[in-house]
Structure formats: structure tokens, C-alpha cells
Structure 1
Amino acid sequence: MSKGYDFIIIGGGSAGSVLAGRLSEDASARVLLLEAGGSDRHPFYHLPAGFAKMTKGIGSWGWDTVPQKHMQNKVFRYTQAKVIGGGSAINAQIYTRGNPQDYDEWRQMGCTGWGYDDVLPYFKKAEDNETYENAYHGKGGPLGVSEPRAPLPICEAYFEAAAALGIPRNPDINSETQDGVCFYQLTQRNVRRSSAAMAYVTPNRGRPNLTVKLGAQVRRLLVERGCATGVEMMDGTRLMADREVLLCSGAVGSPRLLQLSGLGPADHLSQLGIDVVADQPEIGANLQDHLDLYCISELSGPYSYDRYARPHWAALAGLQYVMGRKGPVASSLFETGGFWYADPDARSPDIQFHLGLGTGIEHGVAAMPQGGITLNSCYLRPRSRGTVRLQGADPAKAPLIDPNYLQDPLDREMSIRGLKLTQEILSQAPLAKYILAERLPGPDVKTDQAYFDFICTHSKTSHHCAGTCRMGVDDGAVVDTRLRFNGIERLRVVDNSIMPTVISSNTNAAAIMIGEKAAEMIKSDNGMKA
């Protein structure tokens, strides 16, 4: 049994949600959005602090990496969203776009149309920014972008501590310069998460030409005579696309489905008994991610949000949020941070900070019984490259995710420099009245080998994976600069997997930009209304 649509979008994450909202603006286009995950009705998906529950199981596929051979075989929890809205429904809501030079370097690689001046209009088109409307920001778009509502006094002390090291305060790290410490803007509206699904899908569910299916897992893409024609679902149902199939399943999900469909490295697929439709060695290659390190300090008083983990304080937190949209529930818990340099000669900041207003917030991170803060750092332009491969032909099996962290010695050196910088910030005088003692790494970690041993236990993903369906103009690229799959007609990949290099920040805003730009290209290529 078959049912036809013009466009089938596979994956209701950040980019897929954008495509669903934008393509269905043309009433003549029949648009189907397939999301393998479930509904976002649970309140944790909408409360800012709900992020703390996300890396511990809710809304996630529960996948892990393979043992990391350059990190003493450490296995990382690799959170991948299992809900409409994708990463935008479970992340810390931090709105950063990367550095302008990231995109200019894409253009220099041959990706015409993807320089900073080219992509900036799409960032602005998406935004409904409560604070700015200028050359860098827009108002009136679908995506709510707001200021934090629940900072604590220790955040200002953090800014003063950074200033003591010559790191300036930056009111808008998405404008002229990225350098400095800041309050991040957040993807929120009215102190509620503004996920891509809430921005682009929910308001448009009433459109008769938009169909949204949840819990809809695709088994494989259908390809006939070099042309994508539709999808086969897990139950065998076939859904046909008269115009295009749009793959938006992310830097893990997209290469995974392509390989399950016979598109990928021929030797790998043949070993698994999968019929090879197209030999494309770079599908699932070029995986890049930011490795997150952290310094944890115990506090001398109730200066963070840790105490609200206790039941009676949690009840008070809920009341504060209901009555005034304040308190810990109104916080993403990581809305303070900034960008600075591990390498003083770097072309732009190469370290990003996230100040956690508590401890044990994310999976695997230690908690301080008496309360503390966590200062994360990640090296932004890693040279290490990993892979996404299949365990077997069974779609129910988790993929083999190998970020290959710290394979390049420079990544190791710069990551350790970033960790040392977080320690230096936390040791400055403005924070002295708040901090009782540094607990991790602690005073016993002194040599670079000791730091390396430490991070092989205490580190995590930054959740910024990219690059596994690389865009380019060379023969090895998976998609061209209009995101069309090289070698298969009527198939595009639209998500962070197309990034040639990972951007120098959180990646969710860029995924939404990619969706906006792709929607315009798809409309143009199909003669649709803009």
C-alpha cells in the first residue's frame, strides 16, 4: 500500500522542523514529516531547566560511543534526541551561531553561497529576538530568542574573575566579535523553551497540506534507477515522494539511514550483507565533535542551584516558576559562558566556556553534596575525525559512533590548556567569597599526563556532532552546495551532517539556519512560492 506526497522529510529535529514549516507555506505542496521519536508534551521539554533531565535518559535513544582508543578506552554517553524538535527540544537552549570565519572558510573550500554574508540573512529570518534588531539580528521570525531570566550573583563574580585575566565582557557574542564572556541568549519565548518544533511545526499543524507522523521509523530509502522515490517504514509500508526526499536525521541518524539503504562505503556494507546501491566512502566519515572538559568547585554557601535538588526546595522552585517565571526552573543552568583563546595566535576564539549553576547536571558529571558550580570548556576546532558505522543490517541496532576524540595531539594539548584556563578563572579573587575549594581536577593534578588521565575519566560530549555527510565541490563530497546528494537524484541531506567543518560554538542555531537556507533552495528548484 502506497501513499504519495510531494516532499517526505525524514527527521523532525531542528532542520527538519524548519523544512516542514517553510515548505508547507506553499498550499499546493503536500508535505510529510516523519519523526521516529515521540511527542514533546511532557513539561520537561518546555521548562528551561528540563535540560538537566535530558542527558540522563528522557527523550534520548540511549546510545553510547565505541571505546575511545585515544582516551584510555573511555565510553561516552552520546545523547541523540528521540522527540519531535530533536536536539532543540532537549538542549540547554544556548543561542550561538559560531564565528563568521567558520562560514567564510566553508566558502574558501568551494562552498559558494555558504560564507558568513550568505548565511547571516537566514539566521536573522529565523529570529524573533527580544533584545536586538540590527545588522546581526531580526525580529518577527518563528524562533524565540531571549535573555536569561534567572542568573545568580555568582555569574557577575565570574565576569569579574575573567576580567582579572584580561577577558572582556561581551554583551552580544553573535555580533561584531565573538571574544569575551557573556550571558548567552537562549532559544526561549516567555521563559519557555522555543524548540524548532514549537516554532515551525506546532503553529502549522492545522495546514491541510502538512502531515506529521510521530513514532514513524524509516527502515530504508527507496531508490530506483538512480532516483530517490520514497521510503519504506519499519512495518513495510511504502510512502512515495513525487518531488524530493529530504533526509534530516542529524550527524548520526542521517549517515546511519543512508548506510541501511545501501548508500555508503561499499566494503563496510558488503561485510554486513547490505546490497550496495551507491559506493560513497565519505558517508559516515568526517565525524567532528567538541570534547567537553570541566572544573568543579565546591561552594562555601548556597550560591548555586544545587540545593533545589532536595524535594522541599524543588517544590519551592516550582512555585517560583509558576508565580513569577523565576528561580532555577527558569534557568537553562548553563546560560553564562563565553569564548577565549587556548592558542593566543588563533584566528578567532578556540575555547568556549559554559558556567553550570550547579553540579551533576549532566550524565556522568560529579555532584557536590554541599553545592558547587561547574565550569566547562571545549576546544572548538578539533582536527580529529571519527565515523558513524553500522553494527549490522538490523535497523533496531544502535550505530557504532566513534568521535575519535583526541586522535590529533593538538586537540589534546589545546583541550588541556582550556581546562587549565577554567581553573585559573575560578581561582581569581572576585570568586573567592563564593568558592570553598576546587574539587575537580583538584590540587593533585599538576602534570600534563595527570591532566590527560583526569580527562579520560572526567569529560563528556558537548553534543555538537557534525560533518558526516560533508558538503563540497570535490568528487568525495556527499552533497553539493545545494545539499543535493551526489549520485542520487531527488535526494537531499539537510542537517548538521553537511558541515564541512564543525562551527566554533553550539550547533543548534546553525541547524536552523541550514533548514531555512535549504527551504529557500528547495522552493526555488521546484518552482514553488517563496
Structure 2
Amino acid sequence: MQFDYVIAGGGSAGCVLAARLSEDASVSVCLIEAGGAGKDLIIRAPALVATMVSGRPKLNNWAFRTVPQPALNGRRGYQPRGKALGGSSAINAMLYARGQPEDYDGWADLGAEGWDWAACRPYFLRAENNQRGASVHHATGGPLQVSDQSEPRAITRAFLDACGEAQIPETADFNGSQQEGAGYYQVTQFHDGPHKGERCSAAAAYLHPVMARPNLTVLTRCLVQRVVIADGRATGVELRRGRRIERLSARREVIVSAGAFGSPHLLMLSGVGPEDALRAQGITVNHALPGVGQNLQDHLDYVISYTSARTDVIGLNPAGLSRLARDGLRWRKTGGGLFASPMAEGGAFLRSAPNVSRPDLQLHFVIGIVDDHLRKLTLSNGFSCHVCLLRPHSRGTVGLTAPDPAAPPRIDPAFLSDPRDLAPLMRGARLMEQILQAPPLAPWRKRRLYPHDTSDAALEADIRARADTIYHPVGTCRIGTDPLAVTDPQLCVHGIMGLRVVDASVMPTVVSGNTNAPTIMIAERAAEMIRTG
């Protein structure tokens, strides 16, 4: 089979690309996804994210593991990634955050010419249909439904009041004129119509409404094994469909959109990457590109949880599950209630020290106990708060574990490998504890899940024992013009014609916030680049 564009990966970026490129009826587009259609009830119901994120069982989730992390007591970290149309937007907490303008200006300074904030901002607006209406900061009419939360819990209001006790101002919009402060998150969720209250994944926003286009072919449960490269040009892909190996040809381009782990993995399986690493796996080198899989960045996250005697928070006990089931029926009728909650209802962007020029910490306040990505279940009612370091200095890698395309990538975030990352994270943890101990949360607060003394040594030990990702890996096929850059500012892979990478892997540095909205922005911009030449 032959198409103009073949897109490997149906995650957030792939869905945007497939929908936007197929708007031109004169071209043919094929999107290939290893997972399913992304329409399951557990995807559509926001609260049911808890059934997927743990990876036990692997529902719509690759459920990757990292290599042992020396700075985290040798623990192997956990990396959930979406495996369905919509990718990780199908299993995330739906939080809509763009980061800070300085993040994008920093990209341009690092060699990503044309990716400064002024150039990126219009593509955030193009994507958006914001419940708040059009304004200087937001837009309507885009495919991505961005909503205010319909009924945040009383405890989330108490968290914001507790932030006020800590002299943290309240902000009405993390994507407005000031990110710094505490507030409610906006979410990627349908706010009206027949899907009101449902998750608005990138697939639900962009792809599902246009699946009937005659020039668009969507293949699910197909694993792309390699990009076919001949004479320095990408000519198609090889994929596994069931037990069959098939080839698809691309007349114009192959676009790799498999994410920060999957995209470098696929390039290396295709013979594009660090020469020594490819030869060590017996892979023929099509093009030596040493930066493939380098520059991995992620937000390291530390969680404090408390049990609660209150019943207006989540508890995985018989009474709590019964309340949740009853609320599920309400959600099916009205789109509201607890089932519509992102669980991480509120948060804050903070500076770790007065001399830090802009927020370098982010809080996520969750209306239930989250322990080890829900892989350790606690029956008690309770709540949690997360703190992550937004601009880490540590850099990791993605590589191959085997030449077998079905083998997982080798993921090494190298958390805390740069000693500069520990001190601000510890300061953030202390500030978070101060907020959680404030009087407004006293009616909910019962017992700290992991008690420890207040010394610096004890806090450092607890971070090394329990900290892990907050699910924002980026950077492994970064934009740039230096020898370690993988893609140029048009997202074309250096040295290979007809091949682009479009997803979070192209970010030169991780943004100061959640990464899904920026990934969608990147794909919106890439689609225009491709269509206009």
C-alpha cells in the first residue's frame, strides 16, 4: 500500500497530524498505532484513569520501566505511556498547561530557530476551544476542548486557602498573564454537547470526528518495526499486523510520532542513531546520528500523602468504591460529579528561592492517596500532594535493549545525576509540607502515610526512597543545528530525506509545566510546515 504521508504513532502528535494533513483531500494519509481505538469507557471517564496508570494490568499503557537509578537507591523507575489512539492524552490527568514563555524563547536560544514564544503561541490558540471564551490568552473554535472543572471538591478549595496561609497568591489562570501562584487546573475535557464531562484526548478532539475521510487510513494494533530507508531517503515503514509483516510506502514523507521513548527507539531500530550502539545490537547503520536518544529530561516528583476521616475524598475501601459507583451513574446522565474530576484538581507554580526569577516548582494536589503510581494501594480515604522540579539539570538517555522491535527501549532518566537538582526539590518538599500542615486542611488531615523526622538527612533519604516521574519525558530527538541535534527547525531528521519527528522528543528542554498541550502545539505547527512546504 502507498500513501503520501505515513505517520508512525497515534499519540497526541500523531492524531493532530493525521487530522490536519488529511484536511487536504488531494493527499493520502496513513496513521499507525500499536494500541486500540482509544474509545474505551475507562478512557472517556476521567476518574477511571486510576484503572490505567498503574499498568496492573496493562490497559492502554506501555507501562515501561527504567534502568536502576543510582541516585534513587538503585530503584527501577516506572514510566506509564499511553498505548491507544490519543497516546498519553488517553491516560493522563487531562491538565492543560503550556509552560512559560521563557521556555520557548530558551528553545530558540539553543538553536531551535523559529520556536520562540511569539512563534508558538498562535498554535496553542489554533488548537483550543476554551470554555472561558476567546480572549488575549485563549481561543474558541479549535478541536481541543479546554474546560474549567465543573465541581472541584471542597478539599481543593481548602488547599488553595492553605497556599494563601503560606503567602502564595491565588491565580485564576495558569495559562494567563501570570503562571505563578495557586489555582484550579483547566482540563482537556468536553464542556458541552453529548460528550459533556468526558475526557477530550487528542484522538477524541482531532481524529475520531474525521475517521470517515476517504483519504485517511487509520491502522490500530499494528507495531511499526522500522522506517525503510534507501539511498538516504525514508521510503516507508515495515509493520507487524498480527503475525504478518507488511510494508507501506510513503510518496512524500514518513513522520515518526512515537513519543520521547518510542521515537528514538524506532529511529535506532531503523539504523539511525549512535553508530557504536547500533553496531553493538547488530543493526546496520543507515545514518550515524549520535544525538538520537540523548538529552532525555523529565520532571522528578515527590509525593506526600495523608489519610483522612472525611468521606468527601477518594478511598479504595468498600464505602468509597460504592460512592464512586453511584457517582458514575450520575456522570453518565449529566457529565458532572466525581467521575468528571481529573483527581489532580488544584496546584501551584512556585519559586524554590527568592532569587529564582520564575517558578521552578509545580504542585499537583490530588483528592486521593497516590502511592507509587497507584501500584501500592491504600484502602484509607485521603489526599496527596506532589512537587516536581520544573527545569532539571539532569540528563538521561533512551537506547536499545535488543534489536527486536517488540523489546522495550532502555530508559535511563538519570534522575538527580546532577547534584544541583536535589536542593531545590528539597525546598519544594518543605514548602509543600508547610501547606499541607496549614489550618484550612485540618478537617481532612489525619495521619501522614510515610512519617519521618524533619531533618535534612531524613528528607533526602525519603526523596531517594520514593521520588519518581510525574510523566513528562521529552528531548530525545531534539531540534537544533549542532552535532548532537536530531532534527532541524522544520523537524526534519538531519541527514535523511523524507523523514521527520513530531512529538515531545523534539523539545530542546522540558517546559515548565505539563507537556501534553505543548506536544499538541508542536504537531499543529508541524502540520502547517508540511502543508506549506
What is the TM-score when the length of structure 2 is the normalising length? 0.95
The letter of the residue matching 1:463 is Y
1:458 is displaced (CA, Å) by 2.0
1:150 is displaced (CA, Å) by 2.8
1:299 is displaced (CA, Å) by 1.8
Unaligned runs of 5+ in 2: 191-195
Residue 476 (structure 1) aligns with: 484
For the pair 1:238 / 2:239, whether they are aligned, the reply is no
On the 8 A contact 2:72/2:467 being kept in 1, the answer is no
Residue 438 (structure 1) aligns with: 448
Tell me how far apart the structure 2 counterparts of residues 254 and 439 of structure 1 sit (CA, whole Å).
38
On the 8 A contact 2:299/2:471 being kept in 1, the answer is yes
Determine what percentage of the aligned residue pairs are the same residue: 42
Counterpart among 1, 18, 21 of residue 20 in structure 1: 18
Residue 84 (structure 1) aligns with: 85
On the 8 A contact 1:246/1:494 being kept in 2, the answer is yes
On the 8 A contact 1:306/1:357 being kept in 2, the answer is no
Residue 67 (structure 1) aligns with: 68
Tell me how far apart the structure 1 counterparts of residues 109 and 321 of structure 2 sit (CA, whole Å).
54
Root-mean-square deviation over aligned CA pairs: 1.5
Counterpart among 50, 53, 64 of residue 52 in structure 1: 50
1:41 is displaced (CA, Å) by 2.8
1:321 is displaced (CA, Å) by 1.6
Give CA-to-partner distance per residue, 1:184-226, whole Å, 9 cap, x none: 1000002111111111111111110000000111111111111
Tell me how far apart the structure 1 counterparts of residues 321 and 143 of structure 2 sit (CA, whole Å).
36
Counterpart among 518, 521, 526 of residue 518 in structure 1: 526
On the 8 A contact 1:352/1:379 being kept in 2, the answer is yes
For the pair 1:330 / 2:340, whether they are aligned, the reply is yes
Tell me how far apart the structure 1 counterparts of residues 141 and 121 of structure 2 sit (CA, whole Å).
16
Q: Provide closer, same or farther for how the CA distance between residues 466 and 80 of structure 1 changes in structure 2, counting only shifts above 3 A.
A: same
Instruction: For 1:163-178, list aligned pairs within 5 A.
Output: 163-178=164-179
Which shifted more, 54-63 or 30-39? 54-63
Tell me how far apart the structure 2 counterparts of residues 362 and 241 of structure 1 sit (CA, whole Å).
42
For the pair 1:224 / 2:227, whether they are aligned, the reply is no
On the 8 A contact 1:19/1:515 being kept in 2, the answer is yes
Residue 268 (structure 1) aligns with: 277
Residue 509 (structure 2) aligns with: 501
Unaligned runs of 5+ in 1: 526-530
Tell me how far apart the structure 2 counterparts of residues 191 and 362 of structure 1 sit (CA, whole Å).
27
Tell me how far apart the structure 2 counterparts of residues 64 and 180 of structure 1 sit (CA, whole Å).
33
On the 8 A contact 1:378/1:415 being kept in 2, the answer is yes
Give CA-to-partner distance per residue, 1:87-125, whole Å, 9 cap, x none: 111100000001111001111223221111110100000
Tell me how far apart the structure 1 counterparts of residues 314 and 336 of structure 2 sit (CA, whole Å).
12
Secondary structure at 1:70's aligned position in 2?
helix
Q: Provide closer, same or farther for how the CA distance between residues 90 and 245 of structure 1 changes in structure 2, counting only shifts above 3 A.
A: same
Residue 193 (structure 2) aligns with: none
The letter of the residue matching 1:371 is N
1:348 is displaced (CA, Å) by 1.2
For the pair 1:401 / 2:411, whether they are aligned, the reply is yes
The letter of the residue matching 1:322 is R
Instruction: For 1:87-102, list aligned pairs within 5 A.
Output: 87-102=88-103
Aligned residues: 521
Tell me how far apart the structure 1 counterparts of residues 321 and 103 of structure 2 sit (CA, whole Å).
45
What is the TM-score when the length of structure 1 is the normalising length? 0.96
On the 8 A contact 1:250/1:497 being kept in 2, the answer is yes
Which shifted more, 399-408 or 339-348? 339-348
On the 8 A contact 1:170/1:182 being kept in 2, the answer is yes
Q: Provide closer, same or farther for how the CA distance between residues 512 and 354 of structure 1 changes in structure 2, counting only shifts above 3 A.
A: same
The letter of the residue matching 1:464 is H
Secondary structure at 1:469's aligned position in 2?
coil
Residue 304 (structure 2) aligns with: 295
For the pair 1:148 / 2:157, whether they are aligned, the reply is no
Tell me how far apart the structure 1 counterparts of residues 200 and 492 of structure 2 sit (CA, whole Å).
29
On the 8 A contact 1:308/1:314 being kept in 2, the answer is no
Which shifted more, 55-64 or 178-187? 55-64
Q: Provide closer, same or farther for how the CA distance between residues 372 and 4 of structure 1 changes in structure 2, counting only shifts above 3 A.
A: same
Tell me how far apart the structure 1 counterparts of residues 78 and 348 of structure 2 sit (CA, whole Å).
25
Tell me how far apart the structure 1 counterparts of residues 374 and 154 of structure 2 sit (CA, whole Å).
27
Which shifted more, 355-364 or 511-520? 355-364
The letter of the residue matching 2:385 is L
The letter of the residue matching 2:276 is D
The letter of the residue matching 2:253 is E
For the pair 1:318 / 2:355, whether they are aligned, the reply is no
Instruction: For 1:83-482, list aligned pairs within 5 A.
Output: 83-189=84-190, 190-234=196-240, 235-306=244-315, 310-360=320-370, 363-364=373-374, 367-440=377-450, 442=451, 444-482=452-490
Q: Provide closer, same or farther for how the CA distance between residues 491 and 193 of structure 1 changes in structure 2, counting only shifts above 3 A.
A: same
On the 8 A contact 2:372/2:466 being kept in 1, the answer is no
Tell me how far apart the structure 2 counterparts of residues 219 and 142 of structure 1 sit (CA, whole Å).
31
